[in-house]
Chain A
Amino acid sequence: MQRRGKIYGAVGILLFCAVLDVAADIPPPSVSEVGKSAKEPFCPPERPAEWRDAQKIDGVEIQEERVCLPDNPYAVAAFVKGTNNVSMPTLMKTRLAADSIIKRNDRDGDGDPDEIIIKLEVAELNGASPDTTEPVHTFAIAPGIRPAFWVFAPKVRGMATKDEHSTEANPLLRVPSPVIRVEQGDTVRIVLENTHYFPHTIHLHGVDHPFVDAKGEGNDGVPQTSEGFILPGGKRVYEITPRQPGTMIYHCHVQTHTHLAMGLIGMFVVEENRPDNWVQTFNVGAGKVRHPSRAVLERYDQEYDLQYQAVDKELHEIVQSSNDPRVIARRMNREYDLTDATEDYFLLNGRSFPYTLRESLIVVEPDQNVKLRMLNAQGELLAVHTHGHKATITHYDGIEVNPAAQITRDIFDMAPAQRLDLKLTTTNDGLHNYGPGIWVFHDHVERGITTDGMNPGGNISAIVYKSYLGADDVPKLQGIDLSRYFDTAFYRRQMPVWQDIDEWDSLGDPDARQAEAAESADGETRKRSPLRHLLLGLLLGFLAYILFTNRERGRELFCQYVLGRK
Chain B
Amino acid sequence: MIRILAWILLWLPVAALPGHRMDMDSMVMNENPTRLPQGCAEIAGDRTITVRAGRKYAKPFPGVVFAYDRQSWEVAPCTRLTVRFINEDHIRHQFMVHGLPPDLYPMGMFTIEVSGPGEETASFILPPYKKTYLVHCDIAQHTEHGMKAQLKVAGGDGDLASLPGLTKPVRPDRYPSRWTGRSLLLLALALFAGMALIWLGRWLIRAMTEDRP
| Interface contact A158-B11, CB-CB below 8 Å | no
- Expressed in whole angstroms, the minimum distance between the Cβ of B167 and any Cβ of chain A is 10
| Interface contact A232-B14, CB-CB below 8 Å | no
| Interface contact A121-B91, CB-CB below 8 Å | yes
B189 at the interface (CB under 8 A from A): no
| Interface contact B115-A97, CB-CB below 8 Å | yes
B104 at the interface (CB under 8 A from A): no
Partner of A234, one of B90, B109, B138: B90
- Expressed in whole angstroms, the minimum distance between the Cβ of A11 and any Cβ of chain B is 21
With A97-B115, A233-B89, A323-B171 as known contacts, state yes or no: A158 contacts B138, CB within 8 Å: yes
Complex CA distance for A380 and B109, rounded to whole angstroms = 46
Enumerate chain B residues within 8 angstroms of A430, measured Cβ to Cβ: none
B103 at the interface (CB under 8 A from A): no
| Interface contact A232-B11, CB-CB below 8 Å | no
Q: Which of B23-31, B71-79, B193-201 contacts A (4 or more CB under 8 A)?
A: B23-31
Residue in chain A with minimal CB distance to B16:
A88
Complex CA distance for A158 and B139, rounded to whole angstroms = 8
Partner of B144, one of A129, A161, A235: A129
Q: Which of A188-196, A287-295, A359-367 contacts B (4 or more CB under 8 A)?
A: A188-196
Residue in chain B with minimal CB distance to A85:
B10
| Interface contact B66-A233, CB-CB below 8 Å | yes
Complex CA distance for A327 and B64, rounded to whole angstroms = 12
Complex CA distance for A159 and B171, rounded to whole angstroms = 23
Enumerate chain A residues within 8 angstroms of B115, measured Cβ to Cβ: 97-99
B108 at the interface (CB under 8 A from A): yes
Complex CA distance for A157 and B29, rounded to whole angstroms = 11
| Interface contact B169-A131, CB-CB below 8 Å | yes
With A164-B108, A194-B91, A322-B173 as known contacts, state yes or no: A131 contacts B162, CB within 8 Å: yes
Q: Which of A132-140, A271-279, A492-500 contacts B (4 or more CB under 8 A)?
A: A132-140
Enumerate chain A residues within 8 angstroms of B89, measured Cβ to Cβ: 233-234
Partner of B65, one of A121, A160, A197: A197
A127 at the interface (CB under 8 A from B): yes
Q: Which chain B residues numbered 120 to 165 have a C-beta less than 8 Å away from chain A? A: 138-145, 161-162
| Interface contact A155-B171, CB-CB below 8 Å | no
Enumerate chain B residues within 8 angstroms of A260, measured Cβ to Cβ: none
| Interface contact A195-B24, CB-CB below 8 Å | no
A262 at the interface (CB under 8 A from B): no
Enumerate chain A residues within 8 angstroms of B169, measured Cβ to Cβ: 130-131, 323
* Chain B interface size, under 10 / 10 to 19 / 20 to 34 / 35 or more: 35 or more
A27 at the interface (CB under 8 A from B): no
A324 at the interface (CB under 8 A from B): yes
Complex CA distance for A97 and B92, rounded to whole angstroms = 10
Complex CA distance for A322 and B63, rounded to whole angstroms = 10
| Interface contact B13-A132, CB-CB below 8 Å | no
Complex CA distance for A121 and B93, rounded to whole angstroms = 12
With A164-B109, A195-B139 as known contacts, state yes or no: A136 contacts B54, CB within 8 Å: no
| Interface contact A160-B63, CB-CB below 8 Å | no
Interface size on A, residues (CB 8 A): 48
| Interface contact A193-B90, CB-CB below 8 Å | yes
| Interface contact A193-B139, CB-CB below 8 Å | no
A325 at the interface (CB under 8 A from B): yes
Residue in chain B with minimal CB distance to A170:
B140
| Interface contact B63-A158, CB-CB below 8 Å | no
With A130-B162, A130-B171 as known contacts, state yes or no: A323 contacts B144, CB within 8 Å: yes
- Expressed in whole angstroms, the minimum distance between the Cβ of B136 and any Cβ of chain A is 10
- Expressed in whole angstroms, the minimum distance between the Cβ of B142 and any Cβ of chain A is 7
A44 at the interface (CB under 8 A from B): no
With A121-B91, A164-B107, A233-B55 as known contacts, state yes or no: A128 contacts B144, CB within 8 Å: yes
Enumerate chain B residues within 8 angstroms of A233, measured Cβ to Cβ: 54-55, 66, 89-91
Residue in chain B with minimal CB distance to A130:
B169
Residue in chain B with minimal CB distance to A97:
B115
| Interface contact A99-B24, CB-CB below 8 Å | yes
Enumerate chain A residues within 8 angstroms of B140, measured Cβ to Cβ: 123-125, 127, 137, 160, 169, 173, 195
Complex CA distance for A194 and B145, rounded to whole angstroms = 14
Partner of A161, one of B25, B138, B145: B138
Contact with A along B40-77 (1 / 0, CB 8 A): 00000000000000110000001101100000000000
Complex CA distance for A526 and B65, rounded to whole angstroms = 60
| Interface contact A88-B144, CB-CB below 8 Å | no
A87 at the interface (CB under 8 A from B): yes
Enumerate chain B residues within 8 angstroms of A88, measured Cβ to Cβ: 10-14
Complex CA distance for A146 and B65, rounded to whole angstroms = 24
Q: Which of A89, A98, A127, A323 has the most CB of B within 10 A?
A: A323
With A124-B140, A127-B141 as known contacts, state yes or no: A323 contacts B63, CB within 8 Å: yes
Complex CA distance for A508 and B143, rounded to whole angstroms = 46
B111 at the interface (CB under 8 A from A): yes
Partner of A130, one of B23, B29, B116, B161: B161
Residue in chain B with minimal CB distance to A122:
B140
- Expressed in whole angstroms, the minimum distance between the Cβ of B29 and any Cβ of chain A is 7
| Interface contact A324-B63, CB-CB below 8 Å | yes
Contact with B along A160-177 (1 / 0, CB 8 A): 110110000100010000
Enumerate chain B residues within 8 angstroms of A89, measured Cβ to Cβ: 13
Residue in chain A with minimal CB distance to B96:
A159
Residue in chain B with minimal CB distance to A159:
B138
Q: Which of A130, A324, A327 has the most CB of B within 10 A?
A: A130
B213 at the interface (CB under 8 A from A): no
Enumerate chain A residues within 8 angstroms of B54, measured Cβ to Cβ: 233
A469 at the interface (CB under 8 A from B): no
Q: Which of B13, B14, B113, B171 has the most CB of A within 10 A?
A: B171
17 contacts between A and B (CB under 8 A): A89-B13, A124-B140, A130-B172, A137-B140, A157-B92, A158-B29, A161-B138, A193-B90, A195-B92, A197-B65, A231-B55, A232-B55, A233-B55, A233-B90, A323-B63, A325-B63, A327-B63
Task: Name 6 extra pairs, CB < 8 A, besides A159-B96, A233-B55.
Answer: A124-B140, A127-B141, A127-B144, A131-B170, A195-B141, A324-B175
Top 8 nearest A-B pairs by Cβ distance? Answer: A130-B169, A233-B89, A233-B55, A324-B63, A130-B162, A235-B90, A197-B65, A160-B140
Interface residues of B (CB under 8 A from A): 10-14, 22-25, 27, 29, 54-55, 62-63, 65-66, 89-92, 96, 98, 107-109, 111, 113, 115-116, 138-145, 161-162, 169-176
